[in-house]
Amino acid sequence: MRKIYLFLVIMGLFSNSLNAQELSTEFFDKFDSFLGQYHRESGLVDYVNIQKDNSRLDSLYKILGNANLKDRDEDYQKAFYINAYNIIVIKQVGVFYPIKSPFDVNGFFDNIKNPVAGNSLTLDELEKKVITSKFKDPRIHFALVCAAKGCPSLSRLSFRPESIEEELERITKEVCNNPRFVNVEGDNVRLSKIFDWYEMEFANNGTLIDFINRYRDEPLSADLEIVFRYYDWTLNDESLARG
């Protein structure tokens, strides 16, 4: 009888462990499923069909507010918050859609509050007071997608704790080698405004060019004159791209 009892206790603990593991991956799995339906290879988002059925987005949004990150490690929190930012952006666009730019919505970044892990935050607060302040990792600025074509493309999969470092490295390398963001023209190098807005973070241990060259296949000359490009705030909407 004692052996049976011990077996049941062990199986119960194993079952609880599985449940905890399932809960820890549920958020990322659901975002993967959502992206699989509404993300396009171009990096654009199918807001038209999100409008028609927002049940998956609402489910993700609910998880954001109820999430408890108290016992989660830094990689988990970093992945969670990046995904949370991108989900909230899509959610807010969906609420006000059709729009042609996030700036068509008054206070899109600095006024509309959203529930995130027990807090009520605007997108600016989530980015600056939580993500930037906590992690001090400038690569994250290439993972946060602000619903504009000037942003790096939305990732086709969620960011996950076990691969967050590799994914941030991959995205940063893509950006630094993409002429949309880094383009040499004669004696000038034309950089995305992202490098301008967050220059102090990128150039924390050197210069902007030093940072970019860590990821460039063909390093930039330190003598190049930096020019910051116009930022395209047009919505990253598949239907707009189709005209």
Distance CA 235, CA 22 (A): 35
Is the backbone of residue 231 left (phi > 0), alpha (psi -120 to 50) or beta?
A: beta
Note the pLDDT of residue 43: 86
Rounded Cα distance between 149 and 237, Å, is 8
Hey, what are 93's tokens?
A: 């666009």
Question: Greater confidence, 78 or 242?
Answer: 78
pLDDT score recorded for residue 243 = 56
| Residues 207-241 pLDDT 10s | 999 999 999 999 999 999 999 999 999 999 998 86
Tokens representing residue 117 in the block: 């892990």
Q: How far apart are CA 197 and CA 24, in angstroms?
A: 34
Centre a 10 Å sphere on the Cβ of residue 101 and count the other Cβ atoms it contains: 18
How many beta carbons lie within 10 A of that of residue 86, not counting itself? 24
Cβ neighbors of 162 (< 8 A, separation 6 or more) are 75
pTM of the model: 0.90
On the question of pLDDT at 88 being above 80, the answer is: yes
Residue-wise pLDDT for 131-182, tens only, equals: 999 999 999 999 999 999 999 999 999 999 999 999 999 999 999 999 999 9
